[in-house]
Amino acid sequence: MLISTVSLLLVCGTATWAGPEAGHWLLDHERGWFWYEDPIILEKEPEPEPPEEEAQPQPTPGPPPLSAQWIRENLEKYQMKAIDDPTPENIAMFLYLQRVMLDKAQRFSEGVTRVVQFDPLLDENTRRPTASFGGAVSSRQALEARRDILNRIAHPDGIFFFFRSDCQHCEVEAPLLKTLEQVYGFKVFPVSLDGRPLPNNLFGNYVPDRGQAQKLGVVQTPAMFLGRPDNREVLLISQSTMARPQLEERIIEAAYEAGWINQQEYQSTKSWNSWMALDLRPGQVSEGMNDAQLLEFLKRMYTVQAGLALPGE
């Protein structure tokens, strides 16, 4: 009975079970019954690393306490604090800081006086006396030299005077030019732009403009030019009203620029020693100099400028 039942089950099972599918482990004799396969593990994508924190810039150290720079940056703060809250402590703090700054300024002033006294290249007295009577002497000497040079250059030189009959500025400038003509001997060549005379009838021997104004670049009147008829060289003095001292100074400046007077003559008309002024241009100072080298360079330049040493020495 048992055999029959088993046979029936096998027959029934054969009818309902078609067998393992291809690739099933029952048909894979090489792997056998006890073959073990590791489960497939999906790799996880690496998590992004957090961004690195940017390095914070280190604060720049401020000036040392009670230095001039520190007081300049903080004095007003303490003053405002004392004004808003005028306690004895706040007021005293501000006043003591102010006192420290005044003491620094006093010591600096005393140091400047000592350094200047023993260095003629830094002493302003070397360029012009600071005493009132000394300055008056220098001014008088410069005035005398200016008159001598104007008298000397007036004979070959002349002044071209461009005017209009309706120009009030021309009318007030004409008497000053007449004074230069009478005092120094300048020959004034009047040129009328509109062909008419001045209302005050000065320089009645004028000539009408025939293109001279355009050639010299006259843009307004009165216009005055310094000219030397023998070589036809013409130099601008001014194209506006000017006082007599200004006219005289500009005439000398124009003559110096044209080479009609030399540097020594030009310097004699100044009430201070302008020849000691240093003319430093970009590129003359080497880059990378330390403070000691820069100081030595400046001393050297002023020594040469004053004629106390030759450039190559």
CA distance 129 to 70: 38
pTM tops 0.75: no
Asked if residue 167 lies in contact with residue 196, where contact means CB atoms within 8 angstroms, the answer is no
Annotated domain spans of the chain: 68-114, 139-271, 285-313
Using DSSP, state whether 71 is helix, strand or coil: helix
Strand ranges (E), 119-179 = 158-163
In tens, the pLDDT along 220-234 reads 999 999 988 777 788
Enter the tokens of residue 271. 């009430």
Residue 189 in contact with residue 124, Cβ under 8 Å?
no
Please provide residue 75's backbone torsions phi and psi, each rounded to the nearest 5 degrees. Answer: -60, -45
The CA-atom distances, in angstroms, between 246 and each of 33, 158, 243 are: 124, 17, 5
d(CA 112, CA 106): 10
Closest among 236, 198, 207 to 219, alpha carbons compared: 236
**In whole numbers, what is the pLDDT of the chain averaged over residues?**
80
Digits of tens for pLDDT over the chain (313 positions)? Answer: 444 444 444 444 444 445 555 555 455 555 554 555 555 555 566 667 766 666 677 777 788 888 999 999 999 999 999 999 999 999 999 999 999 999 999 999 989 988 888 888 788 777 777 677 777 877 788 888 888 989 888 887 889 999 999 999 999 999 999 999 999 999 999 999 999 999 988 998 999 999 989 999 999 999 999 988 777 788 899 999 999 999 999 999 998 888 888 888 888 888 777 666 777 777 777 777 788 887 888 888 788 777 776 665 5
Nearest to 127 by CA among 112, 115, 114, 142: 142
Cα–Cα distances (Å) from 63 to 58, 66, 74, 219, in that order, read: 15, 9, 11, 56
Specify the CATH architecture of the domain 139-271.
3-Layer(aba) Sandwich (3.40)
Q: Where are the beta strands (DSSP E) in the chain?
A: 158-163, 187-192, 207-208, 223-228, 233-238
Would you state the structure tokens that stand for residue 88, as one six-digit string? Answer: 């004895």
Helix (H, G, I), strand (E, B) or coil at 87: coil
Q: Which two tokens stand for residue 17?
A: 């079970």
